[in-house]
C-alpha cells in the first residue's frame, strides 16, 4: 500500500506569509524524500530532496524538514508568492534504485 | 531542448477501443516511467523501464502494456479501454532509477466514454 501521504488536501495562505506543507510517511527504510510542484496543466517538477540521514535542507526560499522520530516531512516556503500556487507532492524512493512513490498532494492557494 | 514530450495531449475513446500513448525524451535517460493521476489519488506508477528493451510493472499495471524499443521512446498501450482508465497520464524519465529528480511530460488527458 501507499506509504507516503499528506495531512491536508488544500491550504490557503496570504501572499507574503510563510507556507508549511506537511507529509507523513510510514516506510522508515526510504533513502530519500522529495518534494515536487505541479502547476495547473503541467507535469510535476522537482523542487528539493533530502536524504534520510539529514534533518534539514534549504533551497531557494524553500526548506525541507525531516523528523524521523514521528515520520514526518514538511516543506516550508518563505514569503509565499502567487507563482507558488500549485499542487505539492511529497515522494520517496522506498529502497535504493526503485521508482518514486508519490503522495496524494496538497493544493496551495495564495491569496493576494 | 524539449525534455519529455507526450502525444497526444487529449483523447476521447469509446469503451473497448485501443490506443497508444507516445512518450519521447531527448535527455539520453536510461529510465522511463508511466504514471496516472486521478483526483485525490496522487500519481500512481503503471509501468516503468530501466533501459531499451526492458519493462517492469508498477503499482497499477492491469489493462496496460508498454514497450521500449528505442531508448528515447516509451509507449503505453490500452488494448481495450474502460471508463476506469479515464485519467491524466504522465510520462517521466530520469538519469537513474534511484534518482530523485524525474522529468515529467505535460500529460495526456484521456477520457473513456
What CA–CA distance (Å, rounded) separates B109 from A67?
Answer: 37
Spatial neighbors of B69 by CB under 8 A, at least 6 apart, are B52, B53, B75
Mean pLDDT over the full length of chain B: 95
Residue A9: what pLDDT?
Answer: 86
> How does residue A95 score in pLDDT terms, banded at 50, 70 and 90?
confident
Q: Span B59-80, mean pLDDT?
A: 97
Spatial contact of A105 and A36, defined as CB atoms under 8 Å apart: no
- Inspect the interface and report whether the beta carbons of A46 and B45 lie closer than 8 Å: no
Block residue for cell numbers 469503451: B15
Cβ neighbours of B103 in A, within 8 Å:
46
Q: Is A28 on the interface with B (CB under 8 A)?
A: no
Q: Which of B40, B58, B98 sits opposite A97 (nearest CB)?
A: B98
The tens digit of pLDDT for each residue in A21-73 reads 999 987 778 889 999 999 999 999 999 999 999 999 999 999 999 999 999 99
Mean pLDDT over the full length of chain A: 90
| Residue A8 β-bridge partners | none
| Residue A67 β-bridge partners | A72
Cβ neighbours of B105 in A, within 8 Å:
43
The tens digit of pLDDT for each residue in A50-60 reads 999 999 999 99
What CA–CA distance (Å, rounded) separates B38 from A34?
Answer: 20
- Inspect the interface and report whether the beta carbons of A104 and B41 lie closer than 8 Å: yes
Amino acid at each position: 500500500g501507499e506509504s507516503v501521504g499528506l495531512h491536508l488536501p488544500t491550504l490557503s495562505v496570504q501572499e507574503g506569509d510563510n507556507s508549511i506543507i506537511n507529509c507523513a510517511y510510514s516506510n522508515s527504510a526510504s533513502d530519500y524524500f522529495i518534494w515536487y510542484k505541479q502547476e495547473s496543466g503541467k507535469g510535476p517538477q522537482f523542487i528539493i530532496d533530502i536524504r534520510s540521514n539529514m534533518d534539514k535542507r534549504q533551497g531557494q526560499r524553500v526548506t525541507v524538514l525531516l523528523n524521523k522520530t514521528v515520520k514526518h516531512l514538511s516543506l516550508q516556503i518563505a514569503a509565499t508568492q502567487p507563482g507558488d500556487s500549485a499542487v505539492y507532492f511529497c515522494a520517496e524512493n522506498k529502497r535504493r534504485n526503485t521508482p518514486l512513490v508519490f503522495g496524494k498532494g496538497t493544493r496551495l492557494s495564495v491569496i493576494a | 531542448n524539449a525534455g519529455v514530450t507526450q502525444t497526444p495531449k487529449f483523447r476521447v475513446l469509446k469503451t473497448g477501443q485501443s490506443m497508444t500513448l507516445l512518450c519521447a525524451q531527448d535527455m539520453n535517460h536510461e529510465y522511463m516511467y508511466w504514471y496516472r493521476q486521478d483526483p485525490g489519488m496522487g500519481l500512481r506508477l503503471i509501468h516503468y523501464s530501466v533501459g531499451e528493451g526492458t519493462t517492469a510493472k508498477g503499482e497499477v499495471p492491469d489493462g496496460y502494456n508498454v514497450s521500449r524499443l528505442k531508448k528515447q521512446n516509451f509507449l503505453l498501450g490500452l488494448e481495450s479501454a474502460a471508463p476506469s482508465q479515464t485519467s491524466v497520464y504522465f510520462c517521466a524519465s530520469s538519469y537513474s532509477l534511484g534518482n530523485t529528480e524525474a522529468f515529467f511530460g505535460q500529460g495526456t488527458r484521456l477520457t473513456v466514454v
